[in-house]
């Protein structure tokens, strides 16, 4: 007899409950590729770049910890959309953005989309991802409509 569990007043076999939470059929790979923004900063230079751009050079203990983290990550290069000049021009918009990151990224995406539309380009799809502690990964597929404000 298959294991069962109770949900409310009814008795459901676990296999049926698990199957109801899964999709049938094959998975689809939408795209495979690399999209690197134009600005490249080496991992060795990144802590200095970040703390200088966010006017945080005075936080030397934190900067030293950040340098050690960057050394242990094994990443060689970081590709950034923003230049140091862009970050320095708006110091209040950058820094520790924890919860505001999604709103900031969506606003930046909206701005870039306006520029792309003015140039005759029209990106239809995009992906937004956030990585948290442990195995936390949030992903959102963005689909452009034909209207630009």
Question: pLDDT class for 55, splitting at 50, 70, 90?
Answer: confident
Which of the residue ranges 8-17, 59-68, 127-136 has the most confident prediction, judged by mean pLDDT? 59-68
What pLDDT is recorded for position 57?
Answer: 83
What pLDDT is recorded for position 25?
Answer: 66
d(CA 119, CA 79): 23
Number of domains in the chain: 2
Note whether 72 and 84 are same-domain residues.
yes
For residues 8-37, average pLDDT: 67
pLDDT of 68 strictly over 80? yes
The answer to whether 98 and 108 have CB atoms below 8 angstroms apart is no
Provide φ and ψ at 114, rounded to 5°.
Answer: -60, -45
Note whether 59 and 87 are same-domain residues.
yes
In tens, the pLDDT along 105-124 reads: 777 777 777 877 777 776 66
Q: How many CB atoms lie within 10 A of CB 82?
A: 15
Q: Is residue 65 part of a domain?
A: yes
| Range(s) of the domain holding residue 41 | 37-96
Question: pLDDT class for 45, splitting at 50, 70, 90?
Answer: confident
In tens, the pLDDT along 85-104 reads: 777 776 666 655 555 566 77
Q: Is residue 21 part of a domain?
A: no
120-126 long-range CB contacts below 8 Å, 24 or more apart? 125/30
Q: Give the chain's mean pLDDT.
A: 71
Note whether 67 and 115 are same-domain residues.
no
Beta strands in the chain (DSSP E): 4-7, 10-13, 39-42, 77-80, 125-131, 137-143
Which residue in this structure is represented by tokens 């799809």?
Answer: 125
What pLDDT is recorded for position 23?
Answer: 63
What pLDDT is recorded for position 74?
Answer: 76
d(CA 50, CA 41): 10
Dihedral over alpha carbons 54, 85, 45, 50 (to 10 degrees): 10
Joined together, the tokens standing for residue 14 give: 């676990």
pLDDT of 3 strictly over 70? no
The answer to whether 114 and 148 have CB atoms below 8 angstroms apart is yes
Question: pLDDT class for 60, splitting at 50, 70, 90?
Answer: confident
């Amino acid at each position: 007899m298959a294991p069962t569990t109770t949900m409310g007043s009814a008795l459901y076999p676990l296999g049926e409950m698990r199957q109801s939470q899964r999709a049938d059929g094959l998975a689809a790979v939408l795209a495979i590729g690399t999209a690197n923004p134009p600005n490249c900063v080496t991992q060795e230079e990144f802590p200095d770049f970040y703390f200088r751009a966010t006017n945080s050079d005075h936080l030397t203990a934190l900067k030293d910890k950040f340098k050690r983290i960057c050394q242990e990550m094994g990443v060689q290069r970081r590709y950034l959309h923003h230049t140091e000049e862009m970050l320095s021009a708006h110091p209040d918009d950058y820094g520790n953005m924890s919860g505001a990151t999604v709103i900031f990224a969506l606003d930046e995406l909206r701005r870039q989309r306006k520029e792309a539309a003015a140039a005759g380009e029209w990106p239809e799809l995009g992906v937004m991802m956030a990585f948290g502690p442990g195995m936390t990964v949030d992903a959102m597929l963005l689909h452009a409509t034909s209207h630009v404000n």
